[in-house]
Structures are given as structure tokens and as C-alpha cells.
């Protein structure tokens, strides 16, 4: 069966510090991978998605970046965090192709102080 | 615009029916979804409907789709306190899934 893991679950970072959130999927190959952010009082915003290794599509201009160094690994990064980067970050996957159910990780809560 | 819109809050009494409404924008969307989020957790798919359907029923859940108005609704019959959560409407666009802001459902005992 397929599983998705993301970590860390929670982190508190000072403004200007770097960020690295990791997500891995097991039990499948060539998945579509996604990073979403859920800010307080706001909906679920798509940040990045990838339909193949090394391929990243960015949805919102910001100081975050994503990378897919391996088929089932998706990393969200920042060189310098802003206060507005605080939120709940969710990684998700689904089988390659269009449409279909998204399977979410448990989320990473980031607080920037 | 690109937004999927839904009301932010809904409060019902236990045993009543809940109806959560959503409007989407892309008439070419092939799948429309309802996801549920428990506090502090990720989202889980509750149900979905293909764009060529008008209605789908699954136990206590009924999904209605009005393609002309781009309107989607989720009805939960006999709402229980365990149904308290955030419910997200979503549409698929090519490789992306676009979510609404979520409706927080409060169930009063």
C-alpha cells in the first residue's frame, strides 16, 4: 500500500532563517506531487506541483522554492523566511495523469517569529 | 477568476441535515470533490462526482452538481457531532486540484 510521510510536524523559526520541509511517498512510482499551504483563516493554496523528477511548476510567486531530487521525494525550501510564511504546509500525491484523488500527508505547522 | 468559493461557517443541530454549498469556475473540470479535514490533520477525500453526473449518493452523503450554474453542494443527513470538521470543495484542472477556503461545520448536541 502507498504511504506519504512529511516532516517535521512542527517547527518554529526566526524571520530570515532557512526552511526545509521534506515529503516522501512509498509504494508507488512516478507520482504527481504537490505542496499546499493553509494559512489561518484562509483556504488551501497550491504552491508547487511536479509531474516528474526534476520538473517543478510554481503557482504563486513568493520566496519559497521546491525541488524533486528523486522520484518520490519532494522538498519545500526557503533561504530567508518571512512572517507571512507561517502556516500549515501539506504535501500530497496522486497517481500520474490528470484528475483523481489526492492523498495528503499529516502536515507541517510552521511558525515564523 | 480562478477561485472556488464556499461559505466559511455552518452550524447545525445533531440529527439535522447539513448542506454545504460551493461554486467553481472552470466548466471543463472533469472531477469535483469534497474533502474533510479533522483538526490539525491532513485532508481526506469524502466523495467526488464526475462532471457528467447530476447527483451522487453515498450513505449519508448526497452530492448535487449544477453544471449550468457551476454549483456543487454536499448534504450530510442525520449530522453527528463526529461530523464536525472543515469541508473543502475542490475541482481538478489538468494536473492541479484547486480548493475552496473550506466550510467549518459546527454540530451542536
CB neighbour list of residue B27: distance below 8 Å, 6 or more residues apart: B67, B70
SS3 string, B62-84, reads EEEEECCCCEEEEEECCCCHHHC
Measured between CA atoms, the residue of chain B closest to residue A43 is B101
Measured between CA atoms, the residue of chain A closest to residue B7 is A43
Q: Do A104 and B42 touch (CB under 8 A)?
A: yes
Give me the residues paired with residue B6 across strands. Answer: B22
Which residue of A38, A44, A52 is the best one to mutate when testing the B interface, meaning the one whose CB has the most B CBs within 10 A?
A44
- The per-residue pLDDT for range B1-19, each reduced to its tens digit, is 457 999 889 999 999 999 9
| pLDDT in the model for residue A65 | 95
Burial of B24: CB neighbours in 10 Å, binned 0-12, 13-18, 19+ = buried
- The beta-carbon neighbor of A42 closest among B33, B44, B101 is B101
| pLDDT in the model for residue B76 | 98
Q: Do B102 and A44 touch (CB under 8 A)?
A: yes
CA distance A60 to chain B (A): 13
* B21, three cell numbers: 454549498
* B62, three cell numbers: 448526497
- The per-residue pLDDT for range B41-97, each reduced to its tens digit, is 889 999 999 988 999 999 999 999 999 999 999 999 999 999 999 999 999 888 889
- The per-residue pLDDT for range A57-69, each reduced to its tens digit, is 998 878 899 999 9
Measured between CA atoms, the residue of chain B closest to residue A41 is B101
- The beta-carbon neighbor of A46 closest among B40, B43, B96 is B96
Q: Please, what is the average pLDDT of chain A?
A: 93
3-state SS assignment for residue A103: strand
Mean pLDDT of A79-102: 91
Strand ranges, E, within B1-109: 5-6, 9-13, 18-23, 31-37, 43-50, 55-58, 61-66, 71-76, 85-93, 96-99, 103-108
| pLDDT in the model for residue B41 | 85
* Chain A positions with Cβ closer than 8 Å to B: 32, 34, 36, 42-44, 46, 49, 51, 57, 59, 90, 92, 98-102, 104-107, 109
CB neighbour list of residue A72: distance below 8 Å, 6 or more residues apart: A24, A25, A26, A28, A29, A31, A33
- The per-residue pLDDT for range A3-29, each reduced to its tens digit, is 999 999 999 999 999 999 999 999 999
| pLDDT in the model for residue B2 | 58
The model's confidence at residue A108, banded by pLDDT at 50, 70 and 90, is very high
Count interface pairs A-B at CB distance under 8 A.
54
Measured between CA atoms, the residue of chain B closest to residue A6 is B42
The model's confidence at residue A96, banded by pLDDT at 50, 70 and 90, is confident
Burial of A23: CB neighbours in 10 Å, binned 0-12, 13-18, 19+ = buried
The model's confidence at residue A47, banded by pLDDT at 50, 70 and 90, is very high
| pLDDT in the model for residue A48 | 96
Amino acid at each position: 500500500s502507498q504511504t506519504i510521510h512529511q516532516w517535521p510536524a512542527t517547527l518554529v523559526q526566526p524571520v530570515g532563517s532557512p526552511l526545509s520541509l521534506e515529503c516522501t511517498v512509498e509504494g508507488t512510482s512516478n507520482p504527481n506531487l504537490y505542496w499546499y499551504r493553509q494559512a489561518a483563516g484562509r483556504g488551501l493554496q497550491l504552491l508547487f506541483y511536479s509531474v516528474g523528477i526534476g520538473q517543478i511548476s510554481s503557482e504563486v510567486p513568493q520566496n519559497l522554492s521546491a525541488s524533486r531530487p528523486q522520484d518520490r521525494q519532494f522538498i519545500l525550501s526557503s533561504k530567508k523566511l518571512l512572517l507571512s510564511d507561517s502556516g500549515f504546509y501539506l504535501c500530497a500525491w496522486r497517481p500520474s495523469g490528470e484528475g483523481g484523488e489526492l492523498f495528503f500527508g499529516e502536515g507541517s505547522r510552521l511558525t515564523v517569529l | 477568476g480562478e477561485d472556488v468559493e464556499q461559505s466559511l461557517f455552518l452550524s447545525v443541530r445533531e440529527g439535522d441535515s447539513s448542506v454545504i454549498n460551493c461554486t467553481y469556475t472552470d466548466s471543463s473540470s472533469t472531477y469535483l470533490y469534497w474533502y474533510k479535514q479533522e483538526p490539525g490533520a491532513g485532508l481526506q477525500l469524502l466523495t467526488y462526482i464526475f462532471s457528467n453526473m447530476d447527483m451522487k449518493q453515498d450513505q449519508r452523503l448526497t452530492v448535487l452538481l449544477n453544471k449550468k450554474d457551476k454549483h456543487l453542494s454536499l448534504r450530510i443527513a442525520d449530522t453527528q457531532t463526529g461530523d464536525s470538521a472543515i469541508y473543502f470543495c475542490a475541482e481538478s484542472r489538468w494536473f492541479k486540484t484547486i480548493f475552496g477556503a473550506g466550510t467549518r461545520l459546527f454540530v451542536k448536541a
